[in-house]
A and B are shown apart, each in its own frame.
Chain A
Amino acid sequence: MCWRAPTPRSPDEAPEGHALRAHSASLTICWKDLRQELRTRESFTAAFFFSLLLLIVFSFSFDFQSLGLGFEDVGAGILWITLTFSAILSLQNSFLIEREKNCLAGLSLCPCDPSAIFLGKFLANSLFVLVVQTLVLPISSLLFGYDLLRVLPGLCLVVTVNVVGFSALGTLFAAISVRTRKSELLLPLLLLPAATPIVIWGVKATRLCLAGRPLESYGYLVALSACFGVIFTVAGVLLFDFVMEE
């Protein structure tokens, strides 16, 4: 039996290549976003300095040391408000850039399943937010004087799982809001109420982690956040097709 090079087919006609194509399309889109970010560093710079400003504002707003409170009493809230708003900035930017460069139509015309675009964007957004947090957390430790190394493994787990869950819902809503007239206003309006569970579980788990409690005491919160991430990743995969229609 001689080997024949496969003729170009649409994704619907090539079942054996379709799954691989969707998988490689997601990674291609993710890598495209990462490469663009590495070149310009726009989104990272904005998110990082915004996070820093928020931390500074919080240090003026909550003088917890003079109130006799430790960072673990208010720190979870501070970290999560900072993370939430800087994540919204990154999520917004990931699609705004496409709109500004007139690439939204190009994305819709990609010869792959729209769910692959969602997965690629979701992966890239999660990585962006995690990279920003990798710098923001040590700086928050210096500013607020808590021992990050003591809580690092637990905090990394909580932040990673919750950021991934937040990004799943945020990527879908960012794609929706970018197609409307007031996209910058609409994304926080859509995302913040819907992401309440992630914020609640993230804050609760972070508070227990900062208080030095073992993983068993907040493991169930991390598991709930992971379930949230799975549910809304699946929802995004199923519904992104409708969002990308022109």
Chain B
Amino acid sequence: MERTERLLRGFELGLFFLVAVLMPFSLYCVFRVVPNEVTMGAVQRIFYFHVPSAWVAFLGFFVVFVSSILYLATRRLLWDVVAHSAAELGVLFCSIVLFTGPIWARPVWGTWWTWEARLTTTLVLEMVFVAYLVLRTQAENRTQAARLSAVVGIVGFLDVPIIYYSVQIWRGHHPIVFKSSGGQGLEPIMLKTFMLCMTTFTLFFLLLLAMRIRLGLLRESVSEIRQWETQSGA
């Protein structure tokens, strides 16, 4: 456990410096470098943080899926701590998507919420993983929490593409928003800024994940020590 903690601290330090450099640079690019989008104007710049947040939320849920499988296969609590941490971060970034989506939609579509496919999918996905977090608090003991939430984590992630596809069928397609001229797709400078923001957010997610995993592992250490004290005292 201590070796893992040391590894995580090193990882955190490296990531912290990278994010400390890239985040201000990303903000500079978003506000000073990229041109205004032709139809939506300045408010389109929300997408440079909105879409990376969505990507990072999905990445978090993927980490939950993989860690849950690894936990059930190995029964090492480390994997459960990773899954719990990733789920918490996934819900956090999903919430960011759900706040920024309506803030973008209001000036562009004239309404806060439109039940369009991707926002609806994100909302449903957030509910799935909020239920995952609630389940953890309602389990009778630590091992049961780990085991049952691992099952929900696996099933929940398997459901992600199905939910997305079903909402697409229900609602039709997400409007294409990345255009600065009449041409197809993103302008090169917009694409570069977008990829920069994606990289920055991914690194930021990894930093928060490393910190949260270390917190979880320290909590396990505290429980272990307390348990040892109780047993040796008795």
Can you list 6 A-B pairs with a CB-CB distance of less than 8 A?
A: A172-B151, A182-B138, A186-B134, A189-B130, A192-B127, A193-B128
CA distance A1 to B156 in the complex (A): 54
Pick from B148, B159, B163, B165: contact of A180, CB below 8 A.
Answer: B148
> Cβ of A196 and Cβ of B166 under 8 Å apart?
yes
Alpha-carbon distance A245/B125, docked complex (angstroms): 27
Nearest-neighbor residue (CB-CB) of B129 within chain A: A193
Residue pair A193, B154 in contact (C-beta under 8 Å): no
Q: Identify B155's interface contact among A189, A239, A245, CB under 8 A.
A: A239
Q: How far is the CA of A110 from the CA of B158 in the complex (A)?
A: 29
B148/A176 in contact, CB under 8 A: yes
A93 CB to nearest chain B CB (Å): 19
Rank and list the top 10 A-B pairs by shortest CB-CB distance, nearest first: A197-B166, A193-B127, A180-B138, A189-B131, A193-B128, A200-B166, A190-B131, A181-B138, A197-B162, A200-B170
Interface string of B7-48 (1 = CB under 8 A from A): 000000000000000000000000000000000000000000
- Other A-B pairs, 19, CB within 8 Å; known A193-B131, A228-B162, A243-B151: A172-B151, A176-B135, A176-B151, A176-B152, A179-B140, A179-B144, A180-B135, A180-B139, A181-B139, A186-B138, A194-B155, A196-B167, A197-B163, A200-B167, A224-B169, A239-B154, A242-B147, A242-B151, A243-B148
Contact residues in A for B135 (Cβ distance below 8 Å) = 176-177, 180, 186, 190
How many residues of chain B are within 8 Å of chain A by beta carbon? 30
- A214 vs B187: C-alpha distance when bound (angstroms): 46
Q: CB-CB < 8 A to B152: which residues of A?
A: 173, 176, 190
Q: List, in ascending order, chain B residues with CB within 8 A of A144's CB.
A: none
A-B contact count (CB 8 A): 84
| Residues 182-227 of A contacting B (Cβ, < 8 Å) | 182, 186, 189-190, 192-194, 196-197, 200-201, 204, 221, 224
In contact, A194 and B156 (Cβ under 8 angstroms): yes
| Residue on A nearest B171 in the bound complex, by CB | A200
Majority secondary structure of chain A interface residues (helix, strand, loop or mixed): helix
Tell me, in angstroms, the Cα distance from A69 to B140 when the chains sit together. Answer: 50
Query: Which of A196, A242, A243 counts the most chain B CB atoms within 10 A?
Result: A196
Beta-carbon contact of A189 and B134 below 8 Å:
yes
Most buried by A among B125, B127, B130, B150: B127
Nearest Cβ in chain B — how far from A4, in angstroms? 40
CA distance A190 to B154 in the complex (A): 13
**In the bound complex, what is the Cα–Cα distance between A177 and B166 (angstroms)?**
26
Q: Across the two chains, which residue of chain A brings its CB closest to B168? A: A200
Q: Does A235 contact B (CB under 8 A)?
A: yes
**A172–B167 CB distance below 8 A:** no
| A-side contacts of B158, CB under 8 Å | 231, 235
- In the assembled complex, which residues on chain B have CB atoms less than 8 Å from the CB atom of A197? 159, 162-163, 165-166
A97 to B128, CA, bound (A): 26
Within the complex, which residue of B155, B163, B167 is in contact with A232, where a contact is CB–CB below 8 Å?
B155
CA distance A180 to B135 in the complex (A): 8
Q: B51 in the interface, Cβ–Cβ < 8 Å?
A: no
- Answer whether residue A96 sits at the interface, using C-beta atoms and an 8 A cutoff: no
Is the C-beta of A169 less than 8 angstroms from some C-beta in chain B? Answer: yes
B66 at the interface (CB under 8 A from A): no
B127:A180 contact, CB within 8 angstroms: no
Which A residues are in CB contact (< 8 Å) with B130?
Answer: 189
Please report the C-alpha to C-alpha distance between residue A186 and residue B131 in the assembled complex, in whole angstroms: 7
Partner of A204, one of B134, B151, B165, B170: B170
CA distance A187 to B148 in the complex (A): 13
For residue B103, CB closer than 8 A to chain A, the reply is no
Chain A: minimal CB distance from B59 (Å): 20
* Residues of chain B lying within 8 A (CB to CB) of residue A201: 166, 169
B73 to chain A, nearest CB (A): 10
B72 at the interface (CB under 8 A from A): yes
Q: Which residues of A contact B140 (CB under 8 A)?
A: 179-181
B124 at the interface (CB under 8 A from A): yes
User: For window 67-118 of chain A, which residues contact chain B by CB distance below 8 Å?
Assistant: none
Q: Please name all residues of chain A whose beta carbon is closer than 8 Å to the beta carbon of B148 when the two chains form the complex.
A: 176, 179-180, 243
